[in-house]
Amino acid sequence: MGRFWAGIFGLEPPDWTAGGDWSLEWLALPKGDKALLLLGGILAVATATWFLYRLEGRLLSTRWRLALSALRVAALGVALAMLLEPVIVLSKEEQVASHLIVLVDVSGSMGLQDAWRDEAAATRVAQHFGIPEGPNGLRTLSRAELARRVLGEGTLKRLEGDGARIVHVHPFNDRLQEPVNDYVTQPAKSTGETTALGAAIRQALATYSGSPLAGILVLSDGQSNSGEPPASAAQLAVEAKLPIACIALGTADGPRNAQITKIEVSPMAFVRDDNTLAVHIQSRGMQDLTSTLTVEKRVDGGPWQELSQESLILQLEGAVQTVTVPFREGRPGKVEFKATLTGSGPELTDDDNVAHAETQMIRQKLQALLIAGATFPEIQFLRNSLIRDRGIELSSWLMAADKDFEHPADIPIQRLPITQEELDEYDCVILYDPDPNGFPPNFGELLTNFVTKAGGGLVYIAGELQTSQMFDSQLDPALSWLHLLPVVREPGLFRSAVQTQLSSRQPWRLQMTEEGKHDPVLAFSEDSEANIRIIENLPGMFWHFPVTRAKPGATVLAVHGDPRMRNEFGPEVLLATQLVGPGRSMFIGFDSTYRWRFLDDQFFDGFWARVVDRAGRNKRLGGSYPFRLATPRSEYKPGATVKVIARFHNPDDVEQTMTSLPGQVEHGDDEPQAITLSPEPEPGVFSGTFVAAKAGPHFVKVWMGDDAIAGGVKAATLPLDIALPNLEFENPVVDRASLDAVSICTGGRTFDVTQGKEAADLFKIGRVKHLLEHRHEIWDAPILWISLFVILCVEWVLRKRARLI
């Protein structure tokens, strides 16, 4: 359309319309029956106009009547044309490039390196991509890096088809991401814990809706673990008649991986002995690769120290490689081991390249410290008995002795311990009627920490000189360690001279409780009936120290045999024990066990050997609780119910009165969650559960003993890591069947990584015809208004000359 006519119709056409076509359309033109009605109306108006002028202009010639009728009909025609909303359509047909969508999987599984166990296939792929190192170099490439190579070997140019197609490369994981202009040159990244291939296809089609599409190319391992099924989303491409081609990344064998399956070490080992631990390693798809195994240790929570470092060559899949590492410790305590596997190259995950284990270093001989307030036959025989015992190394201290007195012992000392380190060298401390004035100033605090934190044993033997006065002053802060004992003596407990004489007029015997009959301390014979006879025949005693009662949770082993020696809580307690955190305390309310020697020396020696062993055993095992915490499973997810198991090393350590183990679960700054472990049918086993509501590290703490001091004791601990599920690593093999389900239904197919160019040739749509249109309404164009005005003016002039006005 020329500029003249464009001006006439009031048009300003774009430059691209030059050389194009134009047409006229009527927006308000009725169709069908309405169009027939309009045509009939026009004929009726024309006929009525003719008869009007025939009637009005009877004296006019036929030519004049025709002219006037034509002018009237023309004016009405121009008005009708304006009412039908005429539109000038300027059009031009051209060839435009179609759009081709490339979806590249960048989820977590795309960061994996496949094992490529098929050597022939690995060689073929390595040669195709020109990898100098061959199959070994191929195994160092992640799936994301292979995707970049597939697109970079000319596939993108073939997809563009010499400009016939515009290629849009969209990364995707759990959603479609923005297009990347230079995907081939950018570093390969893999992020996200889920893959949503179906959602990516749907979002891509919606993004380019209305544009001419050539198809979709998908580069993925086929593992779609979230969102709608890919085959369902592919139906949208079927409806649009768009092919989807897929390039499968990965292998059916999956990625390669090396892991430390277990560290094997004895749960207990002797100090100064030559011990070994074994690290078990398995690998997949990493045969003949070199890796470095580093084993570290730390003692009692101290810094990590390297124990060994060894280079090893990984073996065939399924083969268990065992590396043994010797170690030796000079002091008792808890030793933790950490084995780390490094330098084996990229693999499925590094999380299983680290493993932990621990062992308790114990002495071959139990270290005991005997402190006596004054000399007495009981202390003389006791000291000699412990010195003779081959399983005990004794240090002794007589508070009433002269300064130059040489204290008999296996390991003589010149003073009492004044630091925590010095006291913690012992496993058991035996106090025989001690004089608190002879203790170092901080000895009470040292003794409390020794039991509640270091797991030491405390045996208190009541005596006739200091015990009563000391218990009457138990509120003195320096005597706070008395609260460690398993008995309660109310301040000012009155005892008359008559009662004292009554209890010492004739010898009395111990009366075992039901718990005492089964406790090893009072096991003088393996035969239970014989053991009862021995206790009944033991020489009697004349003095005892009365207490009010045993503490809740304490185990009473023996009470006074005289039925008159009782109070409102029952018979007076003479022998009791309890666990205080990881340590143990014992109370012995009489001081004449030396009389048992009259029956047999072994009864006296055996009793005290068992007392020291029972009290100091936990400390000898490294100061830990007599049980180990564990969970049935190594991994838990948020929302899972976690079962915590406490298994005693020796079921005999379970007190008869122990009905539960209290504890708590800590997570970050959250309020600790209480947990209670109850006895299982299996002896020596307690268990409890809690719900892990959140992900992240959790810390389980379990105590035992007196609740009143539970807050100040060392707890048995178990770290747990509650991890979010990572679906990308659950089955990280190529899922070609899923890719086939997407491609075949749309008329496409699935290709290997070496067939990128063949995949590009699958798309046949290149440039497509595109009709460009420019529409302009002309109902108010100047030419129509001028025409209407001219027609009306001419009609008025003619009517004037015909004397019709």
Express each pLDDT in 613-628 by its tens digit: 889 887 876 666 778 8
Give the pLDDT confidence of 401-448 residue by residue, as tens digits: 988 899 999 999 999 999 999 999 999 999 999 999 999 999 999 999
Higher pLDDT, 35 or 514: 514
Q: Average pLDDT, stretch 382-391?
A: 91
Q: Average pLDDT, stretch 364-392?
A: 91
Q: Which residue type sits at 636?
A: Y
Q: Is the pLDDT of residue 235 over 90?
A: yes
Alpha helices in 538-629, H assignment, sequence order: 601-620
The C-alpha angle with vertex 786 and arms to 783 and 791, in degrees rounded to 5, equals 120
Q: Average pLDDT, stretch 291-314?
A: 91
Q: Which residue type sits at 362?
A: I
Q: What is the DSSP letter of 38?
A: H
* Least confident stretch, 365-369, 426-430, 631-635: 631-635
Question: Please, are residues 327 and 307 in contact by the beta-carbon 8 Å criterion?
Answer: yes
Question: Among all chains, which residue has been given the structure tokens 């106090």?
Answer: 431
Higher pLDDT, 698 or 484: 484
- Residue 744: the pLDDT is 93
- Confidence category of residue 500, pLDDT binned at 50, 70, 90: low
Q: Is the pLDDT of residue 740 over 50?
A: yes
Assigned fold of 94-253+733-770: Rossmann fold (3.40.50)
Q: Nearest CA to 219 among 256, 255, 190, 239?
A: 190
Question: Please, are residues 586 and 459 in contact by the beta-carbon 8 Å criterion?
Answer: yes
Question: Please, are residues 260 and 778 in contact by the beta-carbon 8 Å criterion?
Answer: no
Q: Is the pLDDT of residue 597 over 70?
A: yes
- Confidence category of residue 798, pLDDT binned at 50, 70, 90: confident
Q: Average pLDDT, stretch 259-264?
A: 86
Q: Nearest CA to 383 among 422, 430, 423?
A: 430
Return the H-helix or E-strand segment holding 501: helix 497-504
Distances in whole angstroms, Cα of residue 544 to Cα of each of 183, 382, 501, 590: 89, 18, 11, 4
Assigned fold of 366-620: Rossmann fold (3.40.50)
Q: Average pLDDT, stretch 44-52?
A: 81
Alpha helices in 84-173, H assignment, sequence order: 119-129, 135-138, 143-150, 156-160
Q: What are 339's strand-pairing partners?
A: 295, 355
Residue 38 tokens read as: 């309009």
- Confidence category of residue 604, pLDDT binned at 50, 70, 90: very high
* Least confident stretch, 84-88, 208-212, 216-220, 550-554: 84-88
- Confidence category of residue 773, pLDDT binned at 50, 70, 90: confident
pTM score of the predicted model: 0.57
Q: Is the pLDDT of residue 576 over 90?
A: yes
Residue 752 CB-density burial (10 A; 0-12 exposed, 13-18 middle, 19+ buried): middle
Give buried/exposed letters for 333-370 (b at 16+ CB in 10 A, else e): bbbbbbbbbeebbbbbeeeebebebbbbbbbebbbbbb
- Residue 413: the pLDDT is 93
- Residue 708: the pLDDT is 40
Q: Is the pLDDT of residue 398 over 90?
A: yes
Domain ranges for the chain: 3-93+772-801, 94-253+733-770, 257-362, 366-620, 627-727
What whole-number distance in Å separates Cα of residue 34 and Cα of residue 357?
A: 92
Residue 175 tokens read as: 């959603």
Return the H-helix or E-strand segment holding 549: strand 549-550
Q: Which residue type sits at 85?
A: E
Q: Is the pLDDT of residue 499 over 60?
A: no
Higher pLDDT, 482 or 72: 482
Q: Is the pLDDT of residue 296 over 90?
A: yes
Share of the chain above pLDDT 70, in %: 93
Higher pLDDT, 52 or 4: 52
What whole-number distance in Å separates Cα of residue 89 and Cα of residue 404?
A: 125
Distances in whole angstroms, Cα of residue 588 to Cα of each of 390, 483, 502, 580, 708: 24, 15, 20, 17, 22
Q: Which CATH class is domain 627-727?
A: mainly beta
* Least confident stretch, 37-46, 210-219, 723-732: 723-732
Q: Average pLDDT, stretch 232-261?
A: 90
Higher pLDDT, 465 or 32: 465
Question: Please, are residues 291 and 344 in contact by the beta-carbon 8 Å criterion?
Answer: yes
Q: Is the pLDDT of residue 794 over 90?
A: no
What whole-number distance in Å separates Cα of residue 469 and Cα of residue 545?
A: 11
What whole-number distance in Å separates Cα of residue 509 and Cα of residue 537?
A: 9
Q: Average pLDDT, stretch 237-260?
A: 89
Return the H-helix or E-strand segment holding 270: strand 268-270
- Residue 105: the pLDDT is 94
- Residue 412: the pLDDT is 93
Question: Please, are residues 68 and 91 in contact by the beta-carbon 8 Å criterion?
Answer: no
Q: Nearest CA to 377 among 461, 438, 435?
A: 461
Q: Average pLDDT, stretch 166-175?
A: 92
Higher pLDDT, 266 or 443: 443
What whole-number distance in Å separates Cα of residue 521 and Cα of residue 537?
A: 17
Distances in whole angstroms, Cα of residue 761 to Cα of each of 8, 96, 208, 211, 604: 52, 19, 22, 21, 97
Residue 394 tokens read as: 């004794």
Taken as a whole, the chain contains a residue count of 805
Within this chain, domains 257-362 and 627-727 share the same CATH topology: yes
Give the pLDDT confidence of 682-722 residue by residue, as tens digits: 888 999 999 988 877 888 988 876 554 445 677 788 888 78
Question: Please, are residues 102 and 214 in contact by the beta-carbon 8 Å criterion?
Answer: no
Q: Nearest CA to 459 among 426, 490, 492?
A: 426
Question: Please, are residues 195 and 107 in contact by the beta-carbon 8 Å criterion?
Answer: yes
Assigned fold of 257-362: Immunoglobulin-like (2.60.40)
Give the pLDDT confidence of 322-349 residue by residue, as tens digits: 899 999 888 878 899 999 998 877 676 7
What whole-number distance in Å separates Cα of residue 464 and Cα of residue 503?
A: 14
- Residue 650 CB: number of other CB atoms within 10 A? 12
What whole-number distance in Å separates Cα of residue 805 and Cα of residue 791?
A: 17
- Residue 494: the pLDDT is 55
Q: Average pLDDT, stretch 208-222?
A: 92
